[in-house]
Amino acid sequence: MIQSVLDLQHVTKRFGDTAAVDNVTFEVARGEIVALLGPSGCGKTTTLRMIAGFEQPDEGRIFISGVDVARKAPYERNVGLVFQDYALFPHMSVAQNIAFGMKNRGVPARDIAPRIARVLEQVRLPGIEGRRPSQLSGGQQQRVALARALVTRPDVMLLDEPLSNLDAKLRLELRHEIRAILATFDCTSIIVTHDQEEAMGLADRIVLMNKGRIEQVDTPVGLYQRPQTLFAADFIGHANWISGTLARRAAEAGVVETKVGGIAVAPGAVADGPVTLCIRPERLAIVAADAPADTRLAAVVERLDPVGADLRIWSRLGDGTLVQSLEKNVGRALPAPGVGVTLGFKVADCIVLPADGAAR
Amino acid sequence: MKRFADALFQTAYLSLVTLFVAFSVIPVVVAVVLSFDARGFVGPFPPTQFSLRWYDRFLADSYYHDGLVTSLVLATSATFIATVVGALAAIGLHHATFRGKGLIQAALLSPLVIPNVVLGFGVLIFASRLGILDGMTRLMMGHVLITFPYVMRTTAASLVGIRASYYEAALSLGAKPLGALWQVTLPLARTGIIAGAVFGFVTSFDDVGVSLFLTDAFTFTLPVAILAQMRANLDLTIAALSVMFIVATVLIIVILDRVAGLDAITGRGVYGR
């Protein structure tokens, strides 16, 4: 069994009457990078603050390397934290910032300077010991903040919205950079973010949160391809929705009765009754009327949106539902708005989800 | 038409500013010039001859000298106590979350709005009830009371500007709350604390209202000495004294600017550089 470095068990935190974090349980294995993903107010930041020790859970336990730290102060846990605003001490040089943690954690004085030099090399900023944080760019501050947290070799690294303060292009670069740095240190890490791309690009696994609860824990690919709730399917990527009623005719496969006809679905765990079907735009295609496809729906093209490498085609189904499909922009002839087309998709690409409010 | 109105407004505005500047500068200029007056009486302006006689008079006068020493000792020690107490009070209240915090804050800042005469009288009664009859002790009580709200105020203002994440970052890096305060919060609030101390020092050095009640026959501050002297025999020693006050103030400002930067003292530029 893989030893888990971080283990949250039924953690709940209430502010007044509302539970900011509601019965949250998950584990993080050694060296793993896990993203806490969700919209603002979903409880991800409160969860992070409880792991760091700035908030205490009302219920539940938090284990770091096997020790219950739920009641311990921040300085009694070996947790590295990178703040959203980096929180580099403005009155100290880069070296003093990095030395701060080592001094407070009792690293011998003669080891401090060499370790500063080494960690700055590891974050690819050698020789900037004497600079002030205000003399650094946003990306450099980010890496110094990482170095400051990593240099004390924490059991767990916590990164709060690490890329939200940077511009779009830098964000992409630093995403790979952060991944590489965390991999160098083989550090167990939690990344809090509201940005699905950030979570997908940085994490081995994603803990998707909504309204204080965990919606789903999965790998980035799994979360996208096998969402288990409407929220998960909606939050990650784009989706087309068709609602209907599931009735299983055989033990394995079933048919969902919808306003645009019966749609065959693959076997799954969702119970008979009201369901919502989710089809990703890139899995929905305009097909020739006689082409082979598992499911076919008649539609009328409404609008074409060029989105760079792709074209997003909006079409209206017979019952008025607007759906989008993604076509590669490779110079193929495209239907004009107002033209009737056939949309096709495979049974395997049609995700069946319990309708909102229905029991899972 | 619109241009004319605009020009009129601009002229009126400039005149007003000029008038205001003149109003605040002219008395200073008059005092400076008069302090070098060679005549032995307060004559019409401008003086006909110049000398340093009033400066000599001031330096030779042991009454003023005693007052100056008392004022300097008092202002220095009262400011020191007020800085420690005021900064700690501000930090404590900044982190506090209990009910009635606002009430305590208001009570501690109240010496800023209560008339000094009331404060002076209050401290006098309070001290005599405690059996404290020594002038210096009484003065110290009064002056700490009027200086520490300044330190508290400016410290609190600079604490608001310090992001909470600095303190939390220090804790997550293994610092205990006191260590985080000492290594991070205090250095970052430094400019606010210094500004408060400077205001406090000037307030204490300048104070008449509170001191008037608390001086005794042997312990009196410089402003009280000036007041007494002015009643007894009005001469231009006071003008000479004013000039020395001005020079001292300018010196303090220059030194502060060199040490901490005037921008920082007035509360800006805490994060800028």
Q: Tens digits of per-residue pLDDT, A178-232?
A: 888 888 888 899 999 999 888 998 999 999 999 999 999 999 999 999 999 999 9
Q: What is the CATH number of domain B54-266?
A: 1.10.3720.10
Residue bearing tokens 């008979």:
A272
Task: Answer whether residue B216 shows pLDDT above 80.
Answer: yes
The Cα B92–Cα A63 span in angstroms is 32
Cβ atoms of B152 and B199 within 8 Å: the answer is: no
pTM of the entire predicted model: 0.79
Report ipTM (2 d.p.). Answer: 0.83
Yes or no: say if B37 and B21 are a contact pair by the CB < 8 Å rule: no
Of A52, A89, A152, the CB nearest to B174: A152
Which residues are paired to A265 by β-bridges?
A254
Residue of B nearest to A105 (CA): B174
Cα gap B35→B244, rounded to integer Å: 10
Task: Return the H-helix or E-strand segment holding B102.
Answer: helix B101-109
Could you give the domains of chain A?
4-233 (3.40.50.300), 238-354 (2.40.50.140)
Q: What's the confidence (pLDDT) of residue A357?
A: 55
Q: Over the stretch A231-284, which tens digit does the pLDDT of each residue have? A: 999 999 899 999 888 876 555 677 888 888 888 888 777 777 888 999 999 999
| For testing contact with chain B, the best of A84, A88, A100 (most B CBs within 10 A) | A100
A74–chain B Cβ distance below 8 A for any pair: yes
> Cβ–Cβ of A81/B168 closer than 8 Å?
yes
Q: What is the pLDDT of residues B51-60, one digit of tens each?
A: 888 888 888 8
Sign of the four-CA dihedral B56, B62, B67, B68: positive
In terms of phi and psi (left: phi > 0; alpha: psi -120 to 50; beta: otherwise), the region of A213 is beta
Alpha-carbon distance B11 to A276, whole Å? 73
d(CA B218, CA A107): 58
Q: How do strand A295-307 and strand A340-345 relate by DSSP bridges? A: antiparallel
Q: Are A61 and A9 in contact (CB under 8 A)?
A: yes
pLDDT on residue B2: 78
Q: Which phi and psi angles does A30 have, rounded to 5°?
A: -60, 130
Q: CA of A81 to nearest chain B CA: how many angstroms apart?
A: 7
Above 70 in pLDDT, residue B88?
yes
Contact B173 A104 (CB under 8 A): yes
pLDDT for B271: 42
B172, B183, B190 member nearest A52 (Cβ) = B172
Identify the three-state secondary structure at position B131: coil
Matching residue, tokens 């303190």: B167
Q: What are phi and psi of B82, to 5 degrees?
A: -65, -35
Q: What does the pLDDT average to over B205-228?
A: 86
Give B-chain residues touching A52 at CB under 8 angstroms.
Answer: 168, 172
Burial profile A281-311: b = 16 or more Cβ within 10 angstroms, e = fewer: bebbbbeeeeeeeebbbebebeeeeeeeebb
Contact A338, A356 (CB under 8 A): no
Mean pLDDT of chain A: 88
**Percentage of residues in chain B having pLDDT higher than 90:** 31
C-alpha distance from B267 to closest chain A C-alpha (Å): 16
Q: If you average pLDDT over residues A24-49, what whole number do you get?
A: 92
pLDDT class for B260, splitting at 50, 70, 90?
low
The confidence score (pLDDT) of residue B39 equals 81
- Residue in chain A closest to B171 (alpha carbons) equals A75
